[in-house]
Amino acid sequence: MTRLIHSLPSKGTVANNFIERCATRFSPEEIRQAIAELVAHNQLAMASALCQAGLSLYPDSEDILSISALLAELEQDWQAAQQHLEKLLSVQGAKSKSTVWHHLIRVVRCQLDIQKSLALAKQAVELHPSDHQLQSELLALSEEAAERVFPQSTDITH
């Protein structure tokens, strides 16, 4: 376990100021590792509080943004996940990773916004044309969008 986990109390509820005070002594990488360990031990409330502290201390850290997005996905908080992933893409800029795009597309898709998911998939494939997972996602979204525009006709007999 990391040093940060050992410095936190084992109870599920911890005051945010205590977590922030502890977090200031640790790097974004150590905070990310601690959050992952908390999730592995099913201490989601503490992991979420540590994410918030990490985001307030290191708002542009790829480590903190990515683990915060993953935790939000785990909690099915699609809007928060989308915000973290969009910020992560902004921080990464031209060096954005295809994995981040894949997560963002899936998160937007979970919010049932097929058109936005499709637009994101097109953008992602332009940036990462050799990524087969993004190409598959684009194909699936294109088919789904086409079905919504042109629903399959049904024969109605009277």
pLDDT at 12: 47
Q: Please state the domain extents for the chain.
A: 1-81, 96-147
How many angstroms separate the first and last alpha carbons of the chain? 69
| Among candidate residues 65, 69, 67, 121, the one with its CA nearest the CA of residue 92 | 65
CA gap 19, 4 in Å, rounded: 10
pLDDT at 146: 87
Q: How confident is the model at residue 25 (pLDDT cuts 50, 70, 90)?
A: confident
What DSSP designation does 2 have? -
| Among candidate residues 38, 39, 48, the one with its CA nearest the CA of residue 8 | 38
pLDDT at 148: 77
